[in-house]
Amino acid sequence: MAQQARAVRTKRMILQAAAEVFDEFGYEGASTTEIIARGGFTRGALYFHFPSKEALAEAVMAAQSEALVPPVRKVRLQAVIDLTLLFAERLRTDVVLRAAVRLGVDQASRKNPNRAPYQEPINLVEDLLAEARDRGELLPGVNVEEVAGILVGAFTGIQIMSQVYERRQALPGRISMLWKYLLPSLAVPELLPYLSADPVRGKGGASDPAPHEDLVGSAYGSLPTRA
């Protein structure tokens, strides 16, 4: 058991060191030598757990899937908003998630790239928006597939810009600004006063209840639910 626990700790240490190097240098600029030096483990330990830099990159990229857990919200459009704010906040503090996002951007540098690094978040957002549409939260004519692609693309571009200029420290605020201009073209007017894109919501955690949900009953109950 002690040996197994040490193996788990070593693997976690390797992933942390690899994430730091990938986040700093990207896939092409990262080297296993730098990762080993950063983490202070042996080359044998690295290759015992990960046979190649590509395998390391895949393991780091799995962190993005773990972070894509939508918070539980009665209003599905609020769940989409909070998902983006929570993700933005984690990018400020979680180097493994930051590295996963950068590796997604660096797909062209890899020998065997995942050819659809953004498909999972697009599918998740599209599903949430489809639920919002069916509950009458969206304006007529909103195409959830198009909106999901635009939202994920806009988020990606904003986080890259924030990384370059601000080390992502202002990212939650920039995502909040994105929603300020998107929401009037998505949400039915009755719901708009109850939606919040305050950046502080990103600090609340996935189980944090939306503050408007004790107020939304009358407006929400009047929304035209679709079969």
CATH 1.10.357 positions along the chain are 62-221
CATH 1.10.10.60 positions along the chain are 2-59
Q: Report which of 144, 180, 176, 182 is spatially closest to residue 158, judged by C-alpha positions.
A: 176
Beta bridge partners of 187: 138
Compute φ and ψ for 221, nearest 5 degrees.
-65, -20
> For 62-221, which CATH class?
mainly alpha
| Distance, CA of 53 to CA of 141 (rounded, Å) | 46
pLDDT on residue 165:
60
Q: Is residue 109 scored above 80 in pLDDT?
A: no
pLDDT on residue 192:
96
Question: Averaged over 170-198, what is the pLDDT?
Answer: 95
55-80 pLDDT tens trace: 999 999 887 788 788 899 999 999 99
Q: Which three-class secondary structure state does DSSP give residue 143?
A: coil
Lowest mean pLDDT among 14-18, 156-160, 189-193: 156-160
Question: Which DSSP state fits 50?
Answer: -
Question: Averaged over 133-162, what is the pLDDT?
Answer: 93
Q: Is residue 214 scored above 50 in pLDDT?
A: no
More confident residue, 49 or 222: 49
Q: Is residue 206 scored above 50 in pLDDT?
A: no
pLDDT on residue 157:
87
Enter the tokens of residue 84.
């983006």
Measured in residues, the chain has a length of 227
The Cβ of residue 36 has, within 10 Å, a number of other Cβ atoms equal to 19
Helices 144-166 and 171-182, interaxial angle, to 10°? 150
Q: Report which of 39, 95, 75, 30 is spatially closest to residue 201, judged by C-alpha positions.
A: 75
Q: Return the CATH superfamily for domain 2-59.
A: Homeodomain-like (1.10.10.60)
Q: Report which of 171, 43, 159 is spatially closest to residue 100, judged by C-alpha positions.
A: 159
Q: Is residue 211 scored above 60 in pLDDT?
A: no
CB-side neighbour CA atoms (13 Å) of 106: 22
Q: Is-contact 121 68, C-beta < 8 A?
A: yes
Question: Averaged over 132-145, what is the pLDDT?
Answer: 97
Looking at the whole model, is its pTM more than 0.85? no
> How deeply is 100 buried, as exposed, middle or buried, from its count of CB atoms within 10 A (0-12, 13-18, 19+)?
buried
